[in-house]
Amino acid sequence: MLERDDFKKRFASNISIAIMEFLYPIMQAYDSVAIKADIELGGTDQKFNLLVGRELQKEFGQKQQIAITMPILVGTDGVEKMSKSLGNYIGVTEKPEEIFGKVMSIPDGVIMDYYRLLTRLSKPDIDAVEFAINRKGENPVFAKRNLAKLIVENLYDENMADEARRHFDLVFKDKKIPEQIEEFNPDASQYPSGRITLVNLLVKSGLSESNSEARRLIRQGSIKINGKKQEDINLEIELQSLKGKIVQKGRRYFRRIVL
């Protein structure tokens, strides 16, 4: 286990290594033994674990699996690997317009990685995109728009990709409110006072996953009601006054209140 570079350096520096860090690769490796794996596919960050699997198979008298590694896809922040826990991911089941918008938000420096890992374009076609950006000085936003369209096409279809592009242009370029907005109908019986807090409204409508996140969004100035920024985390609103109004989070997410 100490052949792993990270473990070796920490051991030499007298830095503690948790027992769970040793057990994880062993337990993952035993999966290969249990199913008598011929091939195991993983990210480059899993190389050590895949090799432990080979060694464990050898100890059990099995034919050693072939380990195939793939490059790690960087998340929408352009720094960390794409991860739901880090909040920098693009969900394959998300709505087309959300996928399109998230792709458009990635830093220019990772555009080509996304082309290589997430599209079906040939190498010459990808090289042509890279040449246009790096040598011809083409604005990367054009490559990014095409990338977003290709990804949505792969997950949905061409019509949905075109609609997602139009939605993006409407909201981000023209700064208008889209025609199709998800509706939210608050259950009035849950609010006997006839009032609802802004924090609760964000959570119940699905614009926020938690009260703490809702407060953070409000403090950041990310919440608007009918275009007016809301910055009071303690705000209470008459439920009936919300009828027909549009609650907006950032530039991409909307809810129309129906009662």
Instruction: State whether the Cα torsion 67-71-76-78 is positive or negative.
Output: positive
User: What does the pLDDT read at residue 10?
Assistant: 79
Find the domain containing 132 and state its range: 84-174
Cα of 257 vs its chain's centroid, Å? 27
Q: Which domain-ending residue is among 123, 141, 174?
A: 174
Q: Where among 45, 70, 95 does a domain terminate?
A: 70
The answer, yes or no, to whether residue 251 has pLDDT greater than 90, is no
Q: Is the pLDDT of residue 1 over 70?
A: no
> Between residues 214 and 11, which one has the greater pLDDT?
214
Q: What is the CATH number of the domain that holds 240?
A: 3.10.290.10
- Residue 105 sits in the same domain as residue 170: yes
Q: Are residues 206 and 245 in the same domain?
A: yes
For the chain, what is the domain count? 3
Q: What is the mean pLDDT of the chain?
A: 93
pLDDT digits (tens, 9 = 90+) for 41-83: 999 989 999 999 999 999 999 999 999 999 999 999 999 999 9
Q: Which of 128, 143, 174 is the last residue of a domain?
A: 174
Do residues 92 and 65 both lie within one domain? no
Q: Check residue 142 and give its pLDDT.
A: 96
Q: Are residues 159 and 104 part of one domain?
A: yes
pLDDT at 14: 85
How many separate helices (H) and strands (E) can be counted in the chain? 10, 9
Residues 200 and 225 in one domain: yes
Count of C-beta atoms within a 10 Å radius of residue 47 = 13
Burial of 85 (0-12, 13-18, 19+ CB in 10 A): exposed
- Is residue 75 one of the residues assigned to a domain? no
Residue 77 lies in a domain: no
CA 137-148-96 angle, to 5 degrees, is: 160
Residue 124, pLDDT score: 98
69, containing H or E segment: strand 66-70
Provide the greatest CA pair distance for the chain.
Answer: 72
**How far does Cα 27 stand from its chain's mean position?**
28
